[in-house]
Amino acid sequence: MKLAYTGLAIMALLSANLLSVAMSWALMDLVRLIQGLTVAEEEREVSTLLAGVVVDWIGIFAIIGTSIANGLAGGVDDLEVPLASAWAVELLILAVILRLGIFSLGYRISNKGETEEAFPILIGLLSPVVGLPILARQLTFGLSDGLSIGLGIGGAIGMLVAGMRWLLADEMPERRRFLIQSVAFLGIMAASLRPEHANDVIVDAVLILLMMGTLGSIWKIYAPWQRIIPFLAGLMILIPVWSPGSMIVESMAEGFEAGEHIWIPILGMIGLAMIIVGIVRDAFDELRPWYVDDLARSLYTAALMLPIVGGFGLSIGADSGMGLWSIVTSLITAGLVGIGVLSLRRVKGRWLRRIQMGFARLNEAPFLEIAGVIAQGILRVLRAIGGILEGEGAMLWIFVILLLIQLGSGLGS
C-alpha cells in the first residue's frame, strides 16, 4: 500500500493537466480508503473514515471545477499555462487547501505493527506535497492584488492557528499533523509575498515539511548531548542563507522592504517562531531509557543528523542571500523564539492546561460529522440503486438498456 500511495503521489506531481491531477488524487484517496477499511475495527472508525473521504472528494471536485471554469473562459487544460478565469484560480486554491489535511480523515491506525503505523505518517507527508507545487505553478504567473492579499492573509491565519496547536499539543500524531499544516501555510504565505519565486519558496516549504515531519515522528531524547538536535533543526529553518528556510526568510524580508501590507510578514515571523519553538520544545523532554547496543545508538544518531546536516546548503544555488532585511528578519524571529521558549517553560500546570483545552476546541469534528451524514446518505442511495439493479430485476434492466440503445440508434439513422 505504501509503495502504491507513493507512486500515485509521484504521478500527481508529474501531471501535466488538471484532469490528470484529479485522477491521481482520486486514486490516492482510494488507496488510503482501502487501507483504512482493512484495519478499522469499530463502526465509528469507518464512519469517520468515510467522512474524511467526502472532504477529500470536495477537493477533487474543486479541481474538476477548475478545469471546467478554465475551459469556459477559453483557457487550455495545461498546468504550464496560466488559468484564464479568476473562478478557476479560486477553486484551485480551495482544492490545495483541502489537500493540506485541515479536515483530517480522523483515521487512526490500531497498534498492529510498524507497517500499519507508518502509513498514516506517509499520508500526512505526501498529501500536502502533491498540492503545494500545483499552486506554486499558478503563482508564478501572477495573481490579482486582491487575490494575492487574500492568499497571504489566509496563509498567515492558517499558519498561526496550526502553529499554536503544534506548539501546545501533547500527542505526537496530532502534533505532527499541525506541524505539517503550519509549514504548508507558511509556504503559501511566503509565496504570496514573492510570487515570481513561488516555485523556490514552495520547494523550500516542502523540504522543511518532509524533513521536520519525518524527524518529528522518530526523534526521542536518549542522551543529554542529543538535545542539540532540535536546536539544529530549528536553526536550519531560521538562517537566511544556504538552508531550506532561506527563501521563506527572504520572502518575508522583501515584504518588509516593500512596505505594503507589512503586517503579513510580521504574522509570518510570529508563525515561524511558533514552529521553531515547537521543535525546540522537544529538546527539554525527559531522557528515555537507552536499552540498545552501541551500534544501534550510532545508527540512530546518524539517522537523525543526516537530514539536518544535508539540509544546510540545499539553497546554495537559489536566489537568496544575506541581505540586510533578511538578517533583521532572522534576528527578530530568533528573539521571538527565545521569548517563546522561556514563556512555554514558565507557563505550566493549570494555566497551560487551560490554554491547551481552549485550542483543542478548534477542531474539525463538527465538519466531519456533517460530512459523515452526507457519506451515509450517499451510501443509502447507492444501496437503493444496487437493490434495484441486482437480483431478479437485473435481467429486466438489461433489456431496458438494450431497448434504449436500439431506439437511440434508430433515431440517429
Contact 107, 173 (CB under 8 A): no
pLDDT beyond 70 at 350: no
Cα separation, 152 vs 127, in Å, equals: 21
pLDDT at 254: 87
pLDDT beyond 60 at 10: yes
pLDDT at 408: 61
Q: What confidence category does residue 364 fall into, taking pLDDT thresholds of 50, 70 and 90?
A: low
Q: What is the mean pLDDT of residues 251-272?
A: 87
pLDDT at 322: 64
pLDDT at 188: 92
Whole-Å CA distances, 208 to 89, 126, 179, 184: 26, 13, 10, 9
Q: What confidence category does residue 269 fall into, taking pLDDT thresholds of 50, 70 and 90?
A: very high
DSSP structural state of residue 297: H
382 vs 102, more confident: 102
Of all residues in the chain, what percent are helix, strand and coil, respectively (each to 5)? 80, 0, 20
Q: What is the mean pLDDT of residues 287-306?
A: 77
pLDDT beyond 90 at 291: no
DSSP structural state of residue 63: H
% of the chain beyond a pLDDT of 70: 75
Give the lowest-confidence range in 12-21, 114-123, 274-283: 114-123
pTM over 0.85: no
Contact 177, 104 (CB under 8 A): yes
Measured at the CA of 279, the angle between CA 275 and CA 284, to 5 degrees, comes to: 140
pLDDT at 72: 87
pLDDT beyond 70 at 2: yes
Of 166, 163, 171, 179, residue with least CA distance to 125: 179
Q: What is the mean pLDDT of residues 272-298?
A: 81
Map grid coordinates 476546541 to a residue: 361
Q: What confidence category does residue 107 fall into, taking pLDDT thresholds of 50, 70 and 90?
A: very low
User: What are the grid coordinates assigned to 300, written together?
Assistant: 540512530
Q: Residues 108-167: pLDDT tens digits?
A: 444 444 444 567 777 778 888 898 988 888 888 887 878 888 888 889 988 998 888 888
pLDDT beyond 70 at 412: no
Q: Residues 48-105: pLDDT tens digits?
A: 777 777 778 888 999 999 988 988 888 888 888 888 888 898 899 989 988 887 765 5
Q: Residues 184-230: pLDDT tens digits?
A: 999 999 998 888 888 888 888 888 888 887 777 677 777 788 888 88
Measured at the CA of 132, the angle between CA 128 and CA 138, to 5 degrees, comes to: 155
Task: Determine the residue type at 323.
Answer: G
150 vs 44, more confident: 150
Give the lowest-confidence range in 13-17, 41-45, 265-269: 41-45
Give the lowest-confidence range in 181-195, 197-211, 251-265, 395-409: 395-409
What are φ and ψ of residue 20, in 5° steps?
A: -65, -40
Whole-Å CA distances, 400 to 268, 396, 397, 405, 406: 62, 6, 5, 9, 10
User: What are the grid coordinates assigned to 228, written together?
Assistant: 542539540
Map grid coordinates 502504491 to a residue: 4
pLDDT at 112: 46
Q: What is the mean pLDDT of residues 288-312?
A: 77
Cα separation, 13 vs 15, in Å, equals: 6
pLDDT at 185: 93
Contact 155, 193 (CB under 8 A): no
Of 386, 228, 246, residue with least CA distance to 318: 246
pLDDT beyond 90 at 316: no
Q: What is the mean pLDDT of residues 284-308?
A: 78
Which ranges in 84-171 belong to alpha helices (H)? Answer: 86-99, 114-129, 132-139, 145-168
% of the chain beyond a pLDDT of 90: 9
pLDDT at 109: 43
Whole-Å CA distances, 339 to 11, 103, 307, 326, 345: 43, 31, 27, 20, 10
Cα separation, 404 vs 237, in Å, equals: 64
pLDDT beyond 70 at 378: no
pLDDT at 189: 92
User: What are the grid coordinates assigned to 255, written together?
Assistant: 515584504
